[in-house]
Amino acid sequence: MRAHTHRNPCKTLVVVTGTLLAGAALASLPVLLVGCKDEKMGVEKRAEEMAASASAAKSAVDAAPDPNELKYKERKTSLEKTVANMKADEAHIMDKTATPGILRQYYDSGPDNDKLAKELEAKRKKDGDDGYRIKKATVKETRLAGNMEDAEIEVQEETTAKGTSGCLLYVMQWKWVVDKWVYKAQKTVKKVDCD
């Protein structure tokens, strides 16, 4: 922004030119403020206020959160929380403190999923009978598909049995259904070094 002084027979005039920003679009509109030299401070101040206002409007538009980014963060956080809760419930099955059927909530509706939930619960109960306990489960990586409705999550599970510890890395597949994540399948499981 530049200020030019022009001589007037009576008084000195101050002309201020600049550019205004409107929202995210850049509109080059010259701003002409005229005032007497005695009012120079007021004119310059007003020009600075207008420039600051335009800059603030542009910053507000630039800072607006991306809806897709927000959705991604919400879905990712929701999935990781769901998996942590599921692993905690599996640990309760192993130490015999869980309510029967507790894993059913992690599956979609239908008789096939009823069967899958019962099978996983029976497996975890047998693991508990064999002396295994989940010491901790840690999410290692979460991958959401572009539609944010399909996901894979890697979970490292540290278990103890008879005084020894070991770790397994599970790759689990999940699906977003209506308003929650449902467990679809265990893709792989392998032994890994504990962190």
DSSP strand pairing (12-17 vs 2-7): antiparallel
- Stretch 137-166: mean pLDDT, rounded? 95
Amino acid (1-letter code) at residue 132: Y
- Stretch 88-106: mean pLDDT, rounded? 96
List the structure tokens of 16: 């201020």
Query: For residue 195, what pLDDT is reported?
Result: 85
Whether 111 has a pLDDT exceeding 70, the answer reads yes
Work out the percent of the chain whose per-residue pLDDT is above 70.
74
Question: Model pTM?
Answer: 0.68
- Considering the chain, what is the average pLDDT of its residues? 82
Whether 120 has a pLDDT exceeding 90, the answer reads yes
Q: Write out the DSSP string of 55-119.
A: HHHHHHHHHSPPHHHHHHHHHHHHHHHHHHHHHHHHHHHHTT-SPTTGGGGGS-SSHHHHHHHHH
Helix (H, G, I), strand (E, B) or coil at 150: strand
Amino acid (1-letter code) at residue 9: P
- Stretch 134-141: mean pLDDT, rounded? 96
As a residue count, the chain comes to 195
Q: Report the alpha-carbon distance of residue 137 to residue 141 in Å, rounded.
A: 12
pLDDT digits (tens, 9 = 90+) for 23-52: 434 344 444 444 455 555 666 777 778 777
